[in-house]
Amino acid sequence: MIYDDDLRSIQEVRDYLKQAKPAQKELEKMSQEQIDKIVHAMAQAAEHAAERLAVMAVSETGFGKAADKRTKNLFAARNVYDAIKSMKTVGIVNKDEQLGVWEVAQPVGIVAGIVPSTNPTSTVIFKALIAVKARNAIIFSPHPSAAQCCVETARLLAEAAEQAGAPKGLIHCITVPTLQATTELMKHKLTDVILATGGTAMVKAAYSSGKPAYGVGPGNVPVYIHPSADVPTAVRQLIQSKTFDYGTICASEQAILLDAAIKDRTIAELKRQGAYFLNETEKAKVAAIIMVNGALNAKMVGRSPQVIAEMAGITIPEGTRVLVAEETQVGKAHPFSVEKLAPILACYTVADWREGCALSIQLLELGGLGHTLGLHCRDEQVIEAFALEKPASRIVVNSGTTFGGIGATTGIQPSMTLGCGSFGNNITSDNIGPQHLLNIKRVAFGIREMPEEEVRQSAAPAEKATPASGHVISRDEVMAIIKSVILEMQSK
C-alpha cells in the first residue's frame, strides 16, 4: 500500500489515464445522437445539483457567495449547454460543395483539466461538457483547497454520463491533488491536450509540458465610462458585475476610468448604489493587505467588503457593496492598480477618451494583456478606437465585464475559459468550446486541372541565357557545342 501522498496521487493519475484511454476510444465510435444524449444528461445532473455543489465550494474554499456560485454552475449547465447542444462533433461536420471540401471531426483524446479554487465546480461542469461533446475523456486536477467539491462534481457528471450510455472511466478527478500529480497528468504520454485554468505559474507549467495546451491569463480589466454613457445604468451594471461572487471571475472589473466631464455625477451615482470611497488613511490600510510578498493575498480573495474592512482595521458603512480608492499611479508598487479578485476597485480620472485609451493599455500591460476591457459608451467612433487599439481579446460594451466576457450578457460563446491570445502568451483569443478539443480533418476533392503549359514548363530542364545577347540556348544547341569542342580537341 502506498502511503506517501505524492506517490499515491501520481499512481492515481496513471490509473485514471489507463481507464480513460479505452473509454475514450469507445466513446469515439458513438453517433452524434448518442453523444448528445450523454451531454444532455450531464447538463441536467449539474443543473439539479447546482445549489448543493455551490454550497460545497464556498464551504471548502471560503471564496465567494453560494448564491452566485449556484448561478455560475447553472450558467455552465444551461448557457454553455444551450450553446453547444446543436454543434456537430461527429463524422462529417461540414461540406463545402463549391470548394469540394469536407470537414471531418476527430477527438483529441484525453484532456487534462486544471481547475482553480475560485471557480471550482462551475469549471468542472464546463470542461466536462465540452470535452465529452467533442468525444474526449477528461481527468481533472483540482486546486488542493477545492478537491472535495471538484471530486463530487466529477463523480456526479460521470454517473450521469454512464447512465446515459457513456463508457465507464471517461471522467475522473484526482482525489489527493499534489503538484507532482498535476505534473504527471500534464506530461504523461497518454494525455493529449491540457485545458488549464489557474494562476500564471500553473498556466506556464501547462505550456512548458510539451503537450498542446489551452491556457488563460490574468484579467486586470479596466472599464472606461464615456460622457455619452447612461451613467446610472453603467454604474448598476458595473457594481453588479464586480460584486458577483465577490469578484472571483477574472473578467470582473478592476479599475474604473472616469471621464473628467462626468466624474462628479458618476462618483455620486457609485456612492448611491453602494460603493464606498476610501479616504487616504483607509486606502493605505486596505492597500497593505491586497499584496503579500509581491503576490495577491489569498486571504482577501473572494471575501466580502465587510471581511476585507475588518482585515484592514477600518470601519465602513452598512450596506457597502464595493470598496473604491481614487488612484493616479499604475504599477506593482500601487496595489489598487493590480488584479484584485475581490470587491475592490481603483478609480482613475482621465481628461478624455484618448487618455482613457492610453491608461487602459497601461493597466492591461501591468497584468491583463489579452483578456478583457470594458467600455460604457454610445459613440461608435470611440468604441471603434478602443476596439482597434487595445490589446484585449474581449471589448465588452455597455455590459458588466464579468457577464459580458463569459458570454452571459453578450453574443460571444458562453465559456468559463477565456483565451488571451498572443497578447497574453496564449494560443487562442477565443472563448474556449468543444471546437478547440477537436481535430478537424479535411477531405479535399480536385476541382481544377493544372494548365498543361505550366506543367510542361515546370518539368523542362533549366535553360541558360548568354550574358551578351540574352539569347536562350536550347538543350540541342548545348549538345552541339559540346560535340564540336570534343571534335576540335581530338583533331589536335
Catalytic residue list: 250
The string of DSSP letters for 28-43 reads HTS-HHHHHHHHHHHH
C-alpha cell at 470: 540574352
Identify any residues that bridge with 141 across adjacent strands, giving them in sequence order.
Answer: 114
Contact present, 194 and 206 (Cβ < 8 Å) = yes
Q: CA-to-CA distance for 197 and 215, rounded, in angstroms?
A: 6
Contact present, 55 and 152 (Cβ < 8 Å) = no
Pairing mode, strands 438-444 and 101-107: antiparallel
Beta strand segments in 44-136, E: 91-96, 101-107, 110-115
C-alpha cell at 197: 485554468
Q: CA-to-CA distance for 80 and 87, rounded, in angstroms?
A: 12
Q: CA-to-CA distance for 127 and 45, rounded, in angstroms?
A: 15
Q: CA-to-CA distance for 38 and 58, rounded, in angstroms?
A: 28
Q: CA-to-CA distance for 252 and 239, rounded, in angstroms?
A: 10
Whole-number CA gyration radius for the chain: 29
C-alpha cell at 348: 482613475
Residue 349's nearest CA partner among 405, 398, 409, 277 is 277
Pairing mode, strands 344-350 and 322-326: parallel
Q: ∠ at Cα 155 (152, 160), nearest 5°?
A: 130
> Roughly what angle, to the nearest 10 degrees, separates helices 66-74 and 32-48?
170
For the chain, the 3-state helix, strand and coil shares in percent, each to the nearest 5, are 50, 20, 35
Q: CA-to-CA distance for 45 and 47, rounded, in angstroms?
A: 5
The helix/strand/coil state of 336 is helix
* Residue type at 198 in one-letter notation: G
What count of other Cβ atoms lies within 10 Å of the Cβ of residue 389?
13
160-184 burial: b if 16+ Cβ within 10 Å, else e: bbbebebbebbbbbbbebbeebbeb
